[in-house]
Chains A and B, each alone.
Chain A
Amino acid sequence: MIGRDILGIEDLSRDDIETILETAERMQEIGAREVKKVPTLRGRTLINLFFEPSTRTQTSFEIAGKRLAADVVNFSVSGSSVSKRETLLDTAKTLDAMDPDAVVVRHKVAGVPHRLAEVLEAPVINAGDGAHEHPSQALLDMLTVREQKGRIEGLTITIVGDIAHSRVARSNIYGFTKLGAEVRVAGPPTMLPAEVESLGVKSFTSLKDAIEGADVVMALRIQMERLEGACFPSVREYAATFGLDRAKLRFAKEDAIVMHPGPVNRGVELAHELADSSPSVILDQVRNGVALRMALLYLVAGRGGR
């Protein structure tokens, strides 16, 4: 996969996904060492190009790059020439002229990483574009489910929340269905895209029906500021209807796990009691995020053999 862009799960084959997950499973061991560094990408340069603030994803990519001994440069919007009205493409080309071996891009507009991939020599990894895709998040979610359940094929995965505006949901839908899981989505009708079932998922407006017999329940972050009043009457009502707590989780399988891409709105999409302990694997997701991103960098970083 060397030199290849990772723009979305939609473009990846089942084999690609499995190669990435297997590589990430090997990378996990490095994070458990006392000296958490291998020399694999020594002398390579990774640029984190974030047009939208993101502490978690950016930090995770940075740590991943550093554990592989790459030089990591963070380029974020504030204090950059983006505020001097340089165009997106000029910014990208300028960075590309510095010969990075991979560029990680986040942007609030869908499709920006694809556009950049067309002009950059370095492989581009999409770290989230608008409401489109967030492939590394979906891959770390798949890695976590495989670690917890030993498999993905045949499992029932329920994703709860703002499906319509969530790149995490979309990437996970592509990923888990490609690997043979049954994916269900649930939320208020205002948050379910009209044609969502064409992606091969079942959609529910009743949380109970959606998590009945589920192996994995994934709650999405609710963007309260933006959505209150627009998609649901009040945060309290959303929490009462779609917020996950132990009582509602009873409908899922007894050994069901709870996931969340973070950061959690405690008491909204996830009750306190679930955010912190056992059925929840949120911190495993974070830990696996580093190993997964190491795998992506290992597999694609490089300037195409030139």
Chain B
Amino acid sequence: MPPPAASPEASVSTQAPSSAAKTSSLSGSIDAPERVVLDDQAIRRALMRMAHEIVESADGIERLYLIAIPNGGVPLGRLLVDNLERLTGTRPPLGILDTTLYRDDLSTRGARPQLRRTEMPSSVDDRVVVLVEDVVSTGRTIRAGMDALMDFGRPSHVRVVALVDRGHRELPIKIDYVGKNIPTQPNDKVVFRVADADEPAADGAEEGEEAVVGELQLVLRPGDSADSEQGRGA
């Protein structure tokens, strides 16, 4: 393209980092005071309750398949799978599904968002798939997740578990298992993170199969009304 029209070299921006581990380096409006809405204990309690609900409504644990949406869904998915194993003696498979390539706002964004990894350990055909997300708002990420899922096969059911439902739905998406409903303003930021006491994983998204260590936290950062980047994909 001709130089005058060339767009400035924008770095690839991601969404609000969710499990990005590094407590202090979260991007965005630094000045806004943030409030811890759910602390480690509350989150773990909610995850145990949601595991119970999943077992209750699942028609047998054998067909369950948890699929986490990165980044925040991944540590939550891991903890849920731990809980399910504790409750039933059977460990359901855990997949990771990046929805970025299925987003509906790629053509309107300035820069293409960074891709996260996808790992689908087994077929989704005839499974009861539970999509795991940290914060659900507009429902657009879940929509993208369902589209992505269908490219991998034909699950018998698709359900959604989310730690937080913050409202402002833009699509007819229902959350089957909710940790907590939190009323928010559209411009607020709700961030789930794993504050790692020691060394943070190099990339937050690359934490491998190891157990989730570190304190879980869900914080709300009131947004200033001029900030229009909010509520985009969530």
Instruction: Enumerate chain A interface residues (CB-CB to B < 8 A).
Output: 1-5, 15, 19, 22-23, 26-27, 29-30, 33-35, 37-40, 68, 117-124, 298-299, 302-305
List 12 A-B residue pairs with CB atoms under 8 Å apart, sorted by A's residue number.
Answer: A2-B111, A29-B118, A38-B101, A38-B148, A38-B151, A39-B101, A39-B102, A40-B106, A120-B1, A298-B112, A304-B1, A304-B7
> Are A27 and B1 in touch, CB under 8 angstroms?
no
**A35 CB to nearest chain B CB (Å):** 5
> Are A27 and B115 in touch, CB under 8 angstroms?
yes
**A112 CB to nearest chain B CB (Å):** 16
- Closest residue of chain A to B151 (Cβ to Cβ) is A35
Which of B7, B11, B110 has the most chain A CB within a 10 Å cutoff?
Answer: B7
- Closest residue of chain B to A119 (Cβ to Cβ) is B2
B156 in the interface, Cβ–Cβ < 8 Å? no
- Closest residue of chain B to A19 (Cβ to Cβ) is B12
Q: How far is the CA of A15 from the CA of B10 in the complex (A)?
A: 12
B183 in the interface, Cβ–Cβ < 8 Å? no
> Are B1 and A26 in touch, CB under 8 angstroms?
no
Q: How far is the CA of A304 from the CA of B111 in the complex (A)?
A: 10
Q: How far is the CA of A298 from the CA of B106 in the complex (A)?
A: 10
Q: For this complex, into which size category does the number of interface residues on chain B fall?
A: 20 to 34
**B115 CB to nearest chain A CB (Å):** 4
List of A residues within 8 angstroms of B107 by Cβ: 302
B6 in the interface, Cβ–Cβ < 8 Å? yes
Q: How far is the CA of A2 from the CA of B105 in the complex (A)?
A: 14
B5 in the interface, Cβ–Cβ < 8 Å? yes
B98 in the interface, Cβ–Cβ < 8 Å? yes
Q: Given known contacts A19-B12, A29-B117, is B112 in contact with A304 (CB within 8 Å)?
A: no
- Closest residue of chain A to B7 (Cβ to Cβ) is A3
**A25 CB to nearest chain B CB (Å):** 8
**B75 CB to nearest chain A CB (Å):** 19
> Are A26 and B111 in touch, CB under 8 angstroms?
no
